Amino acid sequence: MKRARTVALVVLAAALLAIWAFPVLWALLTSFKTERDVLAYPPTVIFTPTLRNYHDVLFGATSLLPNLLSSVIVAGVSTLLTLLLAIPAAYALARLDFPGKRTSGFYVLATQMLPPVGLIIPYYLVLQKIGGLDTYAGLIVIYLTFSLPFAIWLMVSYFEDIPHEMEEAALLDRAGRLRALWYVILPQARGGIAVTTIFVFLNAWNEFLFAVVLGGNRVRPVTVAMFNFISVEQTLWAKLAAGAMLAMAPVILLGLLAQRHIVKGLTVGAVKGGGRR
Amino acid sequence: MTSWRASSGSGARPGEDRAPNASEAGAGRHTPGRVGMRGIVKRHGSFTALAGIDLDIAPGEFFALLGPSGSGKTTTLRILAGLEPPTAGTVVLDGEDVTAREPGARDVAMVFQSYALYPHMTVFDNIAFPLRMIATPQHEVERAVRDAAAKVHIDHLLARRPGQLSGGQQQRCALARAIVRKPRLFLLDEPLSNLDAKLRLETRVELRKLQRALGVTTVYVTHDQEEAMTIADRVAVFMEGRIVQVGRPQDIFARPASAIVAAFIGSPPMNLLPAEVHDGLLKVAGVDVPLARPLGANGPVTLGVRPAALRIADRGLPARVYLIENLGDTTIVDLDVAGQVIKLRTEQPPALHEGDAVHVAFAPDAMHVFERDSGARRDV
């Protein structure tokens, strides 16, 4: 009975995994095909693999390396700034009592309620006025407007899960507010920080709409550059797939690094005392 | 109950009988750890948590704040620690007004009910934390941590994390973190409430011994009257945001200041019966009870008698045996007296059966008489 259950679970898990993994695996296969093999119908699984696409997107005329660097700068800096600002803000919202706390909390959330598309034209005009179009600073600031509220709201819940006695004990142990935050609270919120980092980085890394409109020539993240493989005459599927694989690599790396923390972070509050330790 | 003042000289004071401790810790110099609270009021909006607390605690004293939940004892402790500001009143430590001072600037250590151990640090780092926060040299930290851990018998667990400790070990770790830096005041918030019954009794004794050895003034919050009575030099009984009585445990037991205190102290607590004073006589359940002393003005009162002071007799209050609880060494007999159940405690198992009609009597000097309306003790 128990065995049948296990088998059923494994089959179900495999099916779900297959659905999730299929597009990724298909893109991986495609990235090793020639453009001709890609268009073969019925699609072929057995073909002579080629590294030509990778060569092209790495070192060819259509190299994505500068764009990857662009993406790393935009996503990396905006993630760093987000954490730097969101952690103290979230801690204050979770713990301190100050005038206008509720209002500011709501305001932070309210910015998330606007559909981003509606903001593109205003942002474009503002950046144009202040000379921020096609600059890293400009795009990063725009990303902050989305990532900060998100990160603050995510972090608030993690801070609220940490018992008040933690700070109180630290305060009585003569740590003071800042050292209590640094030595006692942040280490316990590291799951939440890891989760926030991943989400914020992913959003910035995968962002396309703002990058294509507000970026341009100097600032051209990999998402925008890949878009150039799709043109009116043809779509270079194989190169696109190779580019996608390349673009995925840093995120997967980051995910693996943070995985241990993420699993803990996602279960905080699920069980009393769970996730802490 | 009036509390004695720090400045009122060295006359007969409750802390006197523990003088050896004080000299042990202070070696002749002035012993720190004198606590004073003056007119402490705490309001949360329209709710009054504390309605004017006055308290004086002598250096080296083990002082319990006892009361049911919501009576304000933990709030009092938190105000003492500086974790909450009082709405009004002052907190005085060793003659200094510390009301506005940060918790860290008061030189007090606290053990929380939840222990509040830092889960990401080892036991060693937990205990070392308060020392490191004041930049203690590493070799001194090492020595002090081992010393403190040895005092509470967890020196073999220093490399573990709090999550790998049992409840009792966690409690000791929290204690070690408090004693490691030799503060002038220990604040303990229900430190035993998360332990199982057996461990609670053992730890209670050890805690008392440890406090005697260290000689540090200790304020101990508990809702368990037995715990407070056995562990403390003096007890303050809290009811609804006020201190209703302060005194040595045996004095509170012998002369509860009000019917509420009487009903809270003792296990089982004092029996309370409605009675009437008229013309120097006490009428209870339709029976005139002989008096040891005159009782004062006529009027309705509440009669209190401890369960152990009651006995089955040929004459006395008519009662019916309601329930017999045999506890092994003692027996509790529930008696129905004029529709009210009272408890009698005896060490000899009585030859009684449920439903028996008996008489219950008590010595005149075992009576406590309280005003019916105010509950105040009527001194007889």
Average pLDDT of the residues of chain B: 88
Per-residue pLDDT, A250:
87
Mean local confidence (pLDDT), A140-168: 91
Task: Give the pLDDT mean for B51-79.
Answer: 95
Is A18 a member of any domain? no
Domain that holds residue A150: 59-267
Task: Among A221-235, B172-186, B273-287, name the most confident range.
Answer: B172-186
Q: What is the mean pLDDT of residues A69-82?
A: 95
| pLDDT at site A262 | 67
A260, pLDDT greater than 80 = no
User: Closest partner residue to B112 among A165, A179, A277, by Cβ?
Assistant: A165
What is the rounded distance in angstroms from the CA atom of residue A220 to the CA atom of residue A66?
Answer: 8
Please give the residue of chain B at the shortest CA–CA distance from A273: B163
Q: What percentage of chain B has pLDDT greater than the value 70?
A: 92
Q: Where are the domains of chain B?
A: 14-257, 260-371
What's the mean pLDDT in A36-60?
A: 85
Per-residue exposure over B179-189, b if at least 16 CB sit within 10 Å of its own CB, e if not: bbbebbbbbbb
Do the domain assignments include residue A31? no
- The verdict on A186 touching B (C-beta cutoff 8 Å) is no
Residue B5 — very low, low, confident or very high, per pLDDT cuts 50/70/90?
A: very low
CA angle A167, A170, A176 (to 5 degrees): 90
pLDDT for the residue A142? 93
User: Is 70 exceeded by the pLDDT of residue B114?
Assistant: yes
Residues 6 or more apart in contact with residue A106 via CB below 8 angstroms:
none
Kindly calculate the radius of gyration of chain A based on its CA atoms and give it in whole angstroms. 23
How confident is the model at residue A271, as a pLDDT? 38
SS3 content of chain B, % helix, strand, coil (to 5): 30, 30, 40
Residues of B with CB under 8 A from a CB of A: 81-83, 102-105, 108-110, 112, 114, 116, 118-120, 129-130, 133-134, 161-163, 177
Q: What is the pLDDT of residue B364?
A: 86
* Residues A166-222: tens digit of each pLDDT: 999 999 999 989 999 999 999 999 888 988 998 999 999 999 999 999 987 889 999
Query: Any idea what the CATH number is for the domain that residue A146 is in?
Result: 1.10.3720.10
Which of A178-192, A248-262, B132-146 has the least mean pLDDT? Answer: A248-262
Mean pLDDT, chain A, rounded, equals 87
In chain B the first and final C-alpha atoms are separated, in Å, by: 17
Average pLDDT over residues B47-54: 94
The two tokens of residue B228 are 């407070």
Domain count, chain A: 1
What is the pLDDT, as a whole number, of residue A266? Answer: 53
Q: Do the chains contact at B104 and A169, CB–CB below 8 Å?
A: no
Give the whole-angstrom CA distance, residue B306 versus residue B263.
Answer: 10
Using the predicted structure, report yes or no on whether residue B15 has a pLDDT greater than 60: no
Average of pLDDT values for A221-232? 87
* Residue A118 falls inside a structural domain: yes
| Cβ distance of B120 and A187 shorter than 8 Å | yes
B93 touches B253 (CB < 8 A): no
What is the percent of chain A with per-residue pLDDT over 70, rounded to a whole number? 94
* B14-257 CATH, one of 1.10.490.10, 3.40.640.10, 3.40.50.620, 3.40.50.300: 3.40.50.300
Token pair 């057995």 is found at A46
What pLDDT score was predicted for residue B380?
56
Q: Give the whole-angstrom CA distance, residue B309 versus residue B362.
A: 6
Mean pLDDT of B12-34: 48
Tell me, what's the pLDDT at B24?
A: 40
Output the pLDDT for position B55: 95
From A190, which residue of chain B is nearest by alpha-carbon distance? Answer: B120
Tell me what pLDDT residue A263 has.
64
Considering CB atoms only, which of B103, B118, B119 is closest to A171? B103
A262, two tokens: 């993420």
d(CA B377, CA A202): 72
State the Cα–Cα distance between residues A170 and A150, nearest whole angstrom: 29
- Contacting residues of A for B104, CB less than 8 Å apart: 171-176
Is the distance from CB of A186 to CB of A196 less than 8 angstroms? no
The CB-based long-range contact list for B168-173 (8 Å cut-off, 24+ gap) reads B168/B195, B168/B199, B168/B203, B170/B115, B170/B117, B171/B111, B171/B115, B171/B195, B171/B203, B173/B115, B173/B117, B173/B123, B173/B126, B173/B127
Whether A184 has its CB under 8 Å from any CB of chain B: the answer is yes
Compare CB distances from A174 to B114, B119, B130 and report the shortest one's residue.
B130
Classified as helix, coil or strand, B323 is strand
pLDDT for A265: 53
pLDDT of residue A107: 78
Report the residue count for chain A: 277
What is the DSSP pairing of strand B108-111 with strand B185-189? parallel
Closest partner CB to B119 (pick from A174, A175, A188): A188
Q: Is 70 exceeded by the pLDDT of residue B22?
A: no
Q: B260-371 adopts what CATH topology?
A: OB fold (Dihydrolipoamide Acetyltransferase, E2P) (2.40.50)
Range in A34-38, B208-212, B342-346 with the lowest mean pLDDT: A34-38
Longest dimension (CA), chain B: 77
Is there a contact between A171 and B102 if contact means CB atoms under 8 Å apart? yes
Specify if A161 maps to a domain.
yes
Alpha carbon distance B334, B234 (integer Å): 31
How far out from the chain centre does Cα A142 lie? 15
SS3 B90: strand
Owner of token pair 């006395």: B316
Above 80 in pLDDT, residue B1?
Answer: no
pTM for this prediction: 0.79
Average pLDDT over residues A126-149: 93
Q: Is B170 in a helix, a strand, or coil?
A: helix
pLDDT bin (cut points 50, 70, 90) of residue A115 is: confident
| Tokens 């081992």 found at | B146
Helix (H, G, I), strand (E, B) or coil at B296: coil
Q: How far is CA B72 from CA B48, B65, B236, B287, in A?
A: 9, 9, 11, 40
Burial class (CB in 10 A: 0-12, 13-18, 19+), A84: exposed
Residue in this structure with the two tokens 């509606």, named with its chain if needed: A118
Q: How far lies A70's CA from each of A7, A92, A221, B205, in Å?
A: 46, 33, 5, 67
